[in-house]
Amino acid sequence: MGEIVSKDLNKNIETLKTIFKDCDDISYRFIEIGSNHKTQASLVFHDGLIDKHLISEYAIQILLTTSDDEGFDLTSFKSNLLDTLAKEAIAIPGVEEEEDIDKIVDAVLSGETALLVDRADKGLILSSRGWATRGIGEPQTETVVRGPRDGFSETLKINATLVRRRIRDPKLKVKNMQIGRRSKTDISLMYIEDIVDEKLLGEVKKRLDDIDIDAIIDSSMLEHLIEDNYLSPFPQIENTERPDTVAASLYEGRVAILVDNTPFALIVPATIGTVLQSSEDYYSRWTITTIIRLLRIIAGFLATLSPALYIAITSFHPGLIPTRLTYYVAASRINVPFPAVVEAFLMEITIELLRESGTRISGPIGTTIGIVGGLIIGQAAVEAGIVSPLMIIIVAITTIAAFALPSYELASGLRVCRFIFMILAAILGLYGVMLGIIIMSTHMIRLNSFGIPFLSPYTGLGLEEGDLKDTLVKAPLQKLQLRPTFTFPKNKRRMKKR
């Protein structure tokens, strides 16, 4: 408990001014209110964070004008002065009394307006948040052909609203907390009380409480702080820009964490099944979704293994491919001066460079980079005989496959693994690739997301209960009467039995 609001307005303002020393973005507005304008008052607020119209129209204006006309005499109501003000004068939805200076400071910094009145030992916090926001736009990373097009923005309140609109149930709980000693970032923990597993919820709360950091800039930082294995290349927490995904996950008994100042919400726990899903899976027909889900698994393997297999086959085991193909591959490499592994590394690094430069620069320049990199370098490299045309195909397949995965984080993890696989393939051929698979699968087997095995349901959790119906394939909606079991939901049935 810090300093308490004193009865002397000037003293309070002094205190605040010392706290906000050199904070020129904080404004103080002195007004005189009450009969004969005898009572001194001051509004303290942050210039950019408040809705100025709201404060001037419904607070300042009213405070200045209404007092005398309607017999509003402040002097006679000294005992509960603020209460009167709040109840009878100020026409703003959220008004709260506060006596702790530190809390007032926090409130001002988060966009509230503090009203300090002389001779009152408390301040009033007027909720006036209203800064410029980006508005609800279409999600940039998870676009769908069919399905809602609203995406999260940087404002927590709006984001929480978007979710609430999809779950009009008082059982949807939104717990607010602040993380970051300095940043004081707002965080909302969302869950549906009668579905979510208590153990999971407890674990999430515990991990959030354990965080001691000065600032949370983005939800990804929070993710890194609370995940089970921070050394792993794989994401153990799902992130999404889509409110419909968050709502659907809440209905599955998962917990969502919304962080202020970022359009990405976190969902826990995540498993391989959930990170390989896209929200559109549920909006398309089950047949095509099933095929696409199988395709994603293949894409995962291709993105990880294809350069390594190329190296293993061309440098170690040409006997594994058909004779005619062998001859063709040999012919296509006849003038290539490097071993396959050098060739593969060269091209993979080139493509990573291209991808990196393309991501940072958008718009027309990005397109130019794509054309120069993809078409010209590739063509020239083949013409010059530095790489074989087959290598270009392999690199292209790898890159496209990586983009076919719905989870960018997973794809990045696999990208890292790809290079390790390439080194292993260069040392031990196909056996090296298999060793890599052993190590990678062991890692994934041992990986947990908030106590839930990452490879569920393939490793057993929910396998017998039928979780495969909505992970490996997508059964028609009528067949998905039960919630997935990997979250241990309290309420198991989502659809009436037919």
Indicate the residue among 71 and 319 with the shorter CB distance to another protein.
319
- Which of 23, 464, 479, 491 touches another protein by CB under 8 A? 464
Of 144, 158, 463, 475, the one binding another protein (CB under 8 A) is 463
Instruction: Determine the Cα–Cα distance for residues 142 and 471; give it in Å rounded to an integer.
Output: 19
Distances (CA, A) of 308 to 345, 400, 437: 10, 16, 11
Minimum separation from the CB atom of position 222 to another protein (A): 25
Choice between 355 and 490, CB closer to another protein: 490
Q: Which is nearer to another protein, 267 or 452 (CB)?
A: 452
What six digits make up the tokens of 441? 């699968």
Evaluated on CA atoms 355, 359, 361, 365, the torsion sign reads positive
Q: Which is nearer to another protein, 144 or 435 (CB)?
A: 435
Radius of gyration of the chain (CA): 30
Of 144, 158, 439, 473, the residue at the interface with another protein (CB under 8 A) is: 439
Q: Using CB under 8 A, which of 323, 363, 384, 478 touches another protein?
A: 323
> What does DSSP assign to residue 112?
-
CB of 55 to another protein, least distance (A): 52
**What gap in Å lies between CA 85 and CA 90, rounded to an integer?**
6
Q: How many residues bind another protein (CB under 8 A)?
A: 56
Q: What DSSP state is assigned to residue 35?
A: G
β-bridge mates for residue 116, sequence order: 42, 123
Name which position in 434, 468, 475, 480 contacts another protein (CB under 8 A).
434
Among the listed ranges 18-26, 96-104, 157-165, 430-438, the one in contact with another protein (CB under 8 A) is 430-438
Q: Which residues contact 479 (CB under 8 A, 6 or more apart)?
A: 469
Q: Considering only 48-56, 72-80, 256-264, 429-437, which stretch makes contact with another protein by CB under 8 A?
A: 429-437
Phi, psi angle pair for 479, to nearest 5°: -90, -10
Q: Which of 4, 217, 291, 330 binds another protein (CB under 8 A)?
A: 330
CA-to-CA distance for 20 and 492, rounded, in angstroms?
52
- Closest to another protein by CB, 319 vs 364, is 319
Q: Is 488 in the site for another protein (CB under 8 A)?
A: yes
Give yes or no for residue 327 binding another protein (CB under 8 A): yes
Rounded least distance, CB 478 to another protein, Å? 25
Stretch that binds another protein, among 111-119, 165-173, 345-353, 438-446 (CB under 8 A): 438-446
Q: Give the alpha-carbon dihedral of 456, 460, 464, 469, to 10 degrees.
A: 30
Rank residues 191 and 488 by Cβ distance to another protein and give the closer one: 488
Check binding of 430 to another protein (CB under 8 A). yes
- Select 54 or 313, whichever has its Cβ closest to another protein: 313
- Residues 59/115, Cβ–Cβ less than 8 Å: yes
In angstroms, give the least distance from the CB of 383 to another protein.
11
Tell the smallest beta-carbon distance from residue 25 to another protein (Å).
49
Beta strands 185-192; 255-259: pairing state: antiparallel
Q: Which of residues 297-316 bind another protein (CB under 8 A)?
A: 313-316
Supply 140's token pair. 């940039």
CB of 486 to another protein, least distance (A): 9
What's the closest the beta carbon of residue 305 comes to another protein, in angstroms? 11
Candidates 264, 458, 471, 483; binder of another protein (CB under 8 A) is 458
Contact indicator for 118, 41 with CB cutoff of 8 Å: yes
Q: Does 392 bind another protein (CB under 8 A)?
A: no
Q: Which is nearer to another protein, 269 or 406 (CB)?
A: 269
Please report the sign of the dihedral spanned by the C-alpha atoms of residue 54, residue 55, residue 61, residue 66. positive
Q: Which of 109, 346, 428, 475 binds another protein (CB under 8 A)?
A: 428
Q: Is 485 in the site for another protein (CB under 8 A)?
A: yes
Rule CB under 8 A: which of 152-211 touch another protein?
199
Any idea what the Cα angle at residue 490 is, between residues 171 and 450, rounded to 5°? 95
- Among the listed residues 126, 124, 125, 116, the one whose alpha carbon sits nearest the alpha carbon of residue 7: 116
Q: State which of residues 93, 137, 451, 476 lies at the interface with another protein (CB under 8 A).
A: 451
CB of 434 to another protein, least distance (A): 4
Among the listed residues 336, 381, 392, 405, the single contact to another protein using CB under 8 A: 336
Closest approach, Cβ 432 to another protein, in A, equals 8
**What does the alpha-carbon distance between residue 159 and residue 242 come to, in Å, rounded to a whole number?**
9
User: What is the dihedral sign for C-alpha 7, 11, 12, 13?
Assistant: positive
Minimum CB separation of residue 88 from another protein in Å reads 56
Determine how β-strand 95-98 pairs with β-strand 123-126: antiparallel
For the residues of 190-232, what is the DSSP string, one character each?
EEETTTS-HHHHHHHHHHHHH---S---SHHHHHHHHSS-TT-
**Who contacts 230 (Cβ-Cβ below 8 Å, separation ≥6)?**
224
Using a 10 angstrom Cβ sphere, with 0-12 exposed, 13-18 middle and 19 or more buried, the burial of residue 438 is exposed
CB 124 within 8 A of CB 140: no
d(CA 487, CA 461): 10
From the CB of 459, what's the least distance to another protein, in Å?
3
- Binding residues for another protein (CB under 8 A): 199, 313-324, 326-334, 336, 339-340, 426-435, 437-439, 441-443, 445-446, 451, 453, 455, 458-465, 485, 488
